[in-house]
């Protein structure tokens, strides 16, 4: 682990960690979680020497309520100090492949169960950062499907064939965003539902020659195909510039990352891992986003998520 990680004060000082969270949650000043008041004239910081005052406590003149930055968020109930949340989010967002719950558990000195809980909350936070339809006029979207599953014959539950694997459909803007969806089976209907609800129909659709995309292709500005498995994963660009290289790379990276960091995840949790991978892809360093910015984005996404330990059991 990077030495700098432990030198950053938000990982050591609870007060600094809280202030950093205030900065990402409230860029324009505090907002009352009870009544939604954001008029800074009507919000006062409660300061004083009394030990009864929680640090970072605010008073809302509109509803006469009190609050801190964690009220109404998952941080409030978790009992995990904010310094550790920041550290987990940082470890999660440094590098390409994420981090296992086991590593978080060891690095942060918290139970495995708590580490697992924190990671899933962070994954959920990541799902809100990728809104709005993809593509648009003059842009292309690559769509493809793959199957993901336990490929080790020695592990429990191994079964041969696609039938026992989970389907994943992904949409990728070349050089842009990606979205990935866990589906039971990829059918013409499931891929159509995903495409029409996530992509601008003014986009050009690029796929392989799979019959799944034939009908929905007609609903887009254009539908261009490349031969499936051409050159066995080699890079292929059709005569009109169409390609599925970006979506194939996305799948390849996802599978490598899962193998390296998480070994295997059950089908039940697949969408969460896809969301995490998607977040990392959409906020990658190649787009000029730093580890620190990615970390702050994940922490910001937790706001308003009123989940507790109880609801996850």
Q: Interface residues with Zn ion (CB under 5 A)?
A: 32, 34-35, 37, 60, 62-63, 65
Using the minimum distance from each CB to Zn ion, give the nearer residue, 235 or 306: 306
Q: Minimum distance between the CB of residue 64 and Zn ion, rounded to whole angstroms?
A: 8
Using the minimum distance from each CB to Zn ion, give the nearer residue, 37 or 68: 37
Quick one: 5 exposed, middle or buried, by C-beta within 10 A (0-12, 13-18, 19+)? middle
Q: Minimum distance between the CB of residue 210 and Zn ion, rounded to whole angstroms?
A: 54
| In contact, 308 and 30? CB cutoff 8 Å | no
Using the minimum distance from each CB to Zn ion, give the nearer residue, 64 or 160: 64
Q: Minimum distance between the CB of residue 20 and Zn ion, rounded to whole angstroms?
A: 23
Using the minimum distance from each CB to Zn ion, give the nearer residue, 65 or 238: 65
Cα–Cα–Cα angle for 276, 280, 281, rounded to 5 degrees: 115
Q: Which two tokens stand for residue 90?
A: 């940082």
Q: Minimum distance between the CB of residue 72 and Zn ion, rounded to whole angstroms?
A: 12
Using the minimum distance from each CB to Zn ion, give the nearer residue, 63 or 307: 63
Using the minimum distance from each CB to Zn ion, give the nearer residue, 13 or 62: 62
Q: Minimum distance between the CB of residue 55 and Zn ion, rounded to whole angstroms?
A: 19
Cα–Cα–Cα angle for 252, 256, 258, rounded to 5 degrees: 120
Quick one: 42 exposed, middle or buried, by C-beta within 10 A (0-12, 13-18, 19+)? middle
The Cα–Cα gap between 129 and 189 comes to: 26
- Length, in residues, of the chain: 313
Q: Minimum distance between the CB of residue 61 and Zn ion, rounded to whole angstroms?
A: 8
Q: Minimum distance between the CB of residue 166 and Zn ion, rounded to whole angstroms?
A: 44
Buried b (16+ CB within 10 A) or exposed e, 256-285: ebbeebbeebebeebbbbbbbbbbbbbbee
Q: Which two tokens stand for residue 262?
A: 């998480």
Residue 36: what are its φ and ψ, rounded to 5°? 80, 5
| In contact, 44 and 29? CB cutoff 8 Å | no
Q: Which two tokens stand for residue 272?
A: 């969460």
Using left for φ > 0, alpha for ψ between -120 and 50, and beta otherwise, residue 136 falls in: left
Using the minimum distance from each CB to Zn ion, give the nearer residue, 61 or 215: 61
Q: Minimum distance between the CB of residue 38 and Zn ion, rounded to whole angstroms?
A: 9
Q: Which two tokens stand for residue 25?
A: 């949650």
Using the minimum distance from each CB to Zn ion, give the nearer residue, 69 or 195: 69
């Amino acid at each position: 682990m990077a030495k700098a990680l432990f030198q950053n004060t938000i990982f050591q000082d609870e007060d600094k960690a809280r202030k950093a969270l205030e900065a990402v949650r409230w860029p324009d000043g505090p907002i009352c979680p009870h009544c939604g008041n954001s008029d800074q004239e009507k919000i006062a910081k409660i300061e004083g020497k009394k030990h009864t005052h929680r640090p970072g406590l605010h008073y809302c003149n509109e509803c006469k309520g009190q609050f801190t930055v964690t009220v109404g968020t998952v941080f409030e109930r978790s009992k995990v100090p904010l310094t550790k949340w920041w550290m987990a989010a940082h470890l999660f967002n440094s590098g390409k492949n994420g981090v296992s719950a086991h590593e978080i558990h060891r690095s942060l000195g918290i139970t495995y169960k708590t580490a697992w809980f924190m990671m899933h909350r962070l994954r959920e936070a990541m799902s809100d950062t990728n809104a709005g339809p993809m593509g648009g006029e003059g842009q292309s979207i690559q769509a493809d499907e793959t199957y993901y599953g336990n490929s080790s014959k020695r592990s429990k539950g191994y079964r041969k064939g696609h039938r026992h694997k989970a389907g994943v459909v992904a949409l990728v803007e070349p050089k842009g965003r990606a979205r990935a969806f866990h589906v039971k089976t990829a059918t013409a209907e499931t891929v159509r539902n995903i495409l029409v609800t996530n992509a601008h129909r003014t986009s050009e659709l690029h796929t392989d020659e799979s019959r799944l995309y034939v009908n929905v292709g007609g609903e887009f500005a254009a539908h261009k195909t490349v031969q499936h498995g051409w050159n066995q994963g080699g890079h292929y660009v059709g005569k009109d510039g169409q390609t599925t290289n970006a979506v194939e790379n996305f799948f390849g990276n996802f599978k490598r990352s899962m193998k390296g960091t998480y070994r295997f995840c059950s089908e039940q949790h697949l969408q969460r891992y896809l969301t995490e991978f998607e977040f990392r892809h959409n906020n990658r360093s190649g787009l000029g986003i730093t580890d620190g910015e990615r970390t702050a984005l994940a922490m910001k996404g937790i706001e308003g998520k009123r989940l507790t330990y109880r609801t996850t059991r």
